[in-house]
Amino acid sequence: QWNNPLATWDPQDFCNISKIVLPKDAYWSPYLFILERVNGQNLNFDYTVIMHNGSFNLTQPFQVTLTCSLMILKFPFDTQKCNLSIASFLHPVTDLVVRIKRSPDEMMRKSLSFLLTDGEWKFTNLSIVESFEETDYEKYSVFTFVISMERRPILYVLNLILPTCGLYLLDMAVLFGPSALEDKISLQIAIILGSSMLAVILNDILPTSSNKPPIIGTH
């Protein structure tokens, strides 16, 4: 939303029309960049609402894929923070200063209303950092959404941690049990095969987008 003092009119002179909708290209509008954007698409909603007092309201939906640096050392009990930074590098602060209209708490409640399914991640917090990015010649307005997410570990506990602990407890029970040596060897081979198969499955499930491997994969 922004104001243009050159696009005003008196509604009484135009049949009490106080609002019009025009294509986005009919007037100037800021071009915004998402810095962490990898790919995505803009949905077709290229219209601007213009009020009689010169207020412009533009809604532009985006569906994007972002980059995020993960720390999965504590997987599956990890908490991640991802940034979504929006700036307009075509307009320096002398021409355009971007401000957030809603408070972080209001945006948090609004964001939670869009989460229709309970997936692997739990959306825990949303904070906003306003800053300025300086280049060699100009300074630009940037605001960053810091999104905090917590992984739901119950699936990995039931399918991964408990079976692994059960295999190793069975391994120790067989090793120190009173059975004959031949029975111990056959059971140990079966446990080794089960552990190997679990390691193959573990290699496919564990996230790889991190500089350090998770503890559960190391040990």
- What distance, in Å, lies between the first and last C-alpha atoms of the chain? 53
Which residue in 123, 95, 121 sits closest to 108, CA to CA?
Answer: 123
pLDDT given for residue 208 in this prediction: 63
Q: How crowded is residue 76: how many other Cβ atoms within 10 Å of its Cβ?
A: 20
Last residue of a domain, one of 135, 151, 167: 151
Give the span between the Cα atoms of 142 and 55, in whole angstroms.
22
Q: What pLDDT score was predicted for residue 169?
A: 83
Q: Are 72 and 146 contained in the same domain? A: yes
Distances (CA, A) of 2 to 48, 57, 128, 135, 205: 11, 7, 20, 25, 47
In which domain, by residue range, is 192 found?
154-217
On whether the pTM is more than 0.85, the answer is no
Mean pLDDT, the chain cut into blocks of 10 residues (219 residues total):
89 92 86 82 78 90 84 86 88 84 85 75 87 84 89 81 80 76 78 78 69 70
DSSP state of 68: -
pLDDT for residue 12: 92
> What is the structure's pLDDT at 213?
67
Whether 144 and 170 map to the same domain: the answer is no
d(CA 205, CA 184) in angstroms, rounded, equals 31
